[in-house]
Amino acid sequence: MDRHRLPTVGSAAETGRTETEVPGPRQQTRHAPAVWRILVVENSDEDAEPLMRGLRRHGHHVERVSGGIAALDTYGGVDLVLLDLELPDLDGLEVCRQIRAEKDTAVIAVTARGTELDRVLGLQAGADDYLVKPYGFQELLARMEAVMRRVQISTADPSVIVRGSLHIDAAARRVRLHGRPIDVTRKEFDLLYLLAAQPDTVVSRKTIMQTVWGDVWSRRTIDTHISSLRGKLGSSDWIRNVRGVGFQLGCA
């Protein structure tokens, strides 16, 4: 049995799906099973081949590259990137940062780097989730669905939240302070928007983790992102820490 424990399911031909039937990024019909364009960035054939077979059996359109430079040339137009951090030409964290700086494409780090520090660095680089090898294929599918669900929700809300001089545009995923654009990562935006959408409410750490990350990681994950946001906003008053409870959007 291979390390990913791929389930035995019908091939694309058996299920009647063809590549020409795959819709564009995030454009799924309401009742059809989700089908995504996925870029697998993996240097190891041993890891990549069973992974791609499993994804294709579930109807997804899959491309694969083995290096970071090729990934940056290829990811445009895909829905999801499964990114190994151990690449021969460019560190996977840097690949993730560059993707996140340009687009909101969903990224899941799939890697053998499994320490808490590795996880924190991956999330700080902009990964939407982090999965350590070896892993179960069903877990990967569940994490993919959770990530894509959050991405689709976050891109569907056209509202603009204004809090004093702070403007948060959910549709464009942009933040402005005193009219000046603030460069934030995907997770920083999601965290700030969550707090801004609930003014005068203290949002618990548990709610933040479940909403922004979809899983329980560590206190350090939230604290690191809060600290980064405060620095970019220029004042700790923008995000207030209610000890023992959670965080609340303030006004500086």
Question: How confident is the prediction along the chain (252 residues), in pLDDT tens digits per residue?
Answer: 444 444 333 333 333 433 333 344 444 433 345 789 999 999 999 999 999 999 999 999 999 999 999 999 999 889 899 999 999 999 999 999 999 888 878 999 999 988 899 999 998 899 999 999 999 999 999 999 988 887 765 555 557 888 878 999 888 889 999 889 999 998 999 999 999 988 778 999 888 988 888 765 667 888 999 999 999 999 888 999 988 889 999 876
Is the separation of the CB atoms in 128 and 144 below 8 Å?
no
Say which CATH class 158-249 falls into. Answer: mainly alpha
Which regions of the chain carry the CATH code 1.10.10.10? 158-249
Q: In this structure, what token pair is assigned to residue 116? A: 């808490």
Instruction: Return the pLDDT at 96.
Output: 94
pTM of the complete model: 0.55
Q: What pLDDT score does 15 carry? A: 37
CA triple 210-123-246, angle to 5 deg: 40
Class of domain 12-155: alpha beta
Which tokens belong to 204?
Answer: 């618990």
- SS3 label, residue 168: strand
In this prediction, residue 152 carries a pLDDT of 66
Q: Give CA–CA dist 199/71, Å, rounded.
A: 39
* Per-residue confidence (pLDDT) for residue 148, from 0 to 100: 87
- Do 110 and 40 meet the contact criterion of CB atoms below 8 Å apart? no
3 state DSSP class of 137: helix
Residue 216 has a pLDDT of 54
CATH 3.40.50.2300 boundaries in the chain:
12-155
According to the model, what pLDDT value does residue 159 have? 73
Cα–Cα distance between 54 and 7 in angstroms, integer?
7
Q: Residue 108 is encoded by which pair of tokens?
A: 């899941």
Q: What is the pLDDT of residue 153?
A: 55
pLDDT at 33: 54
